[in-house]
């Protein structure tokens, strides 16, 4: 049997629902009030611990580039394309996924304007030429092969060189450093609990953070010569990886326990 809005059953049910909602609201308010009346936690200590390790950078990035100028935009673009295609063909010979990766970088073509004519002030100067630039990016962990490749790329020059940590090396080191920081945090918590006359501690909250994702430091290349102008045997880029500091910090609070 259905209950319609006009039946007595409906009007009898409405007060019951209202009473149930009111009871639930009162219970919730009571819980909130009780929580507000609870005393603040006692014997809580905030701690932090940091661990660091210095590792050798294993990821080399070399940026090749060249510029061309001319009176015709199409001609300048064609010259840039030829130079980039030749360098790409050489780099692809030694490309290996995860070890030596090749990708094109920036490619720009901008107009070059004639100087203003003093005889016609206010008249915009016209375009009297075009200037373009293209880049090739070679990077990877095969440092020796990349260094040797720099002597075989003859149509582009070396613009920038930089070392960093590979994703694999960074993940591995960050995991190790985080474990050291956690162990240091636990040891410090135990020491503090004993110094305050407590037997142990329990964790209240903890945060673990790492700092190992530094950007690549791209330095100007030590030479800006095309391989055509130097002895091919002596033209390989001299490189030195250098070190990078990877750190991890653990912070949080502990409850001292008797």
For 192-201, letters b (16+ CB in 10 Å) and e give: ebeeeebeeb
DSSP 87: H
Distance CA 182, CA 179 (A): 5
Name the least confident of 25-29, 100-104, 151-155. 25-29
Cα 183 versus chain centre, distance: 27
Mean predicted confidence (pLDDT) in 25-43: 59
Task: Give residue-wise pLDDT tens across range 35-71.
Answer: 455 567 789 999 999 999 999 999 999 999 999 999 9
Task: Give residue-wise pLDDT tens across range 7-20.
Answer: 455 445 555 555 55
Query: Sorting pLDDT into bands at 50, 70 and 90, what band is 82?
Result: very high
Which residues, including other chains, have CB under 8 Å from residue 209's CB and lie 6 or more apart? 248, 249, 250, 251
DSSP 96: B
Which residues, including other chains, have CB under 8 Å from residue 39's CB and lie 6 or more apart? none
Mean predicted confidence (pLDDT) in 158-165: 94
Mean predicted confidence (pLDDT) in 192-198: 95
pLDDT at 42: 85
Residue bearing tokens 């059953």: 9
Distance CA 202, CA 91 (A): 57
**188, two tokens:** 């410090």
DSSP 225: -
In this structure, the dihedral spanned by the alpha carbons of residues 213, 214, 218 and 219, taken in order and rounded to 10 degrees, is -140
81: three-class secondary structure by DSSP: helix
Cα 133 versus chain centre, distance: 27
Q: Is the pLDDT of residue 114 over 90?
A: no
Distance CA 194, CA 110 (A): 71
Mean predicted confidence (pLDDT) in 251-256: 96
Q: Which domains does the chain have, with CATH numbers?
A: 44-54+171-211+250-257 (no CATH), 59-113+123-165+216-241 (3.30.70.2970)
pTM greater than 0.85 (yes/no): no
One DSSP character per residue, 66-79 reads: EEEEES-HHHHHHH
């Amino acid at each position: 049997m259905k209950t319609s809005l006009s039946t007595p059953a409906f009007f009898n049910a409405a007060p019951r629902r209202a009473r149930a909602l009111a009871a639930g609201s009162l219970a919730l308010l009571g819980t909130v009030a009780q929580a507000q009346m609870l005393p603040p936690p006692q014997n809580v200590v905030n701690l932090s611990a940091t661990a660091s390790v210095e590792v050798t950078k294993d990821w080399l990035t070399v940026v090749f580039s060249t510029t061309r100028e001319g009176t015709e935009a199409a001609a300048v673009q064609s010259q840039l394309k030829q130079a980039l295609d030749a360098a790409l063909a050489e780099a692809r010979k030694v490309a290996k996924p995860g070890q030596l990766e090749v990708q094109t970088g920036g490619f720009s073509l901008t107009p070059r304007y004639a100087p203003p004519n003093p005889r016609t002030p206010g008249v915009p100067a016209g375009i009297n030429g075009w200037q373009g630039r293209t880049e090739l990016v070679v990077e990877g962990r095969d440092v020796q092969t990349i260094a040797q490749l720099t002597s075989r790329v003859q149509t582009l020059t070396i613009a920038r060189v930089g070392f960093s940590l590979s994703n694999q090396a960074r993940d591995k080191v960050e995991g190790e450093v985080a474990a050291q920081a956690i162990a240091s945090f636990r040891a410090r918590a135990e020491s503090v609990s004993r110094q305050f006359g407590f037997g142990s501690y329990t964790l209240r909250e903890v945060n673990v953070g790492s700092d190992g994702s530094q950007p690549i430091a791209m330095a100007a290349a030590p030479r800006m010569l095309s391989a055509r102008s130097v002895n091919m045997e002596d033209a390989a880029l001299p490189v030195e990886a250098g070190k990078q500091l990877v750190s991890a910090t653990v912070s949080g609070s502990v409850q001292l326990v008797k």
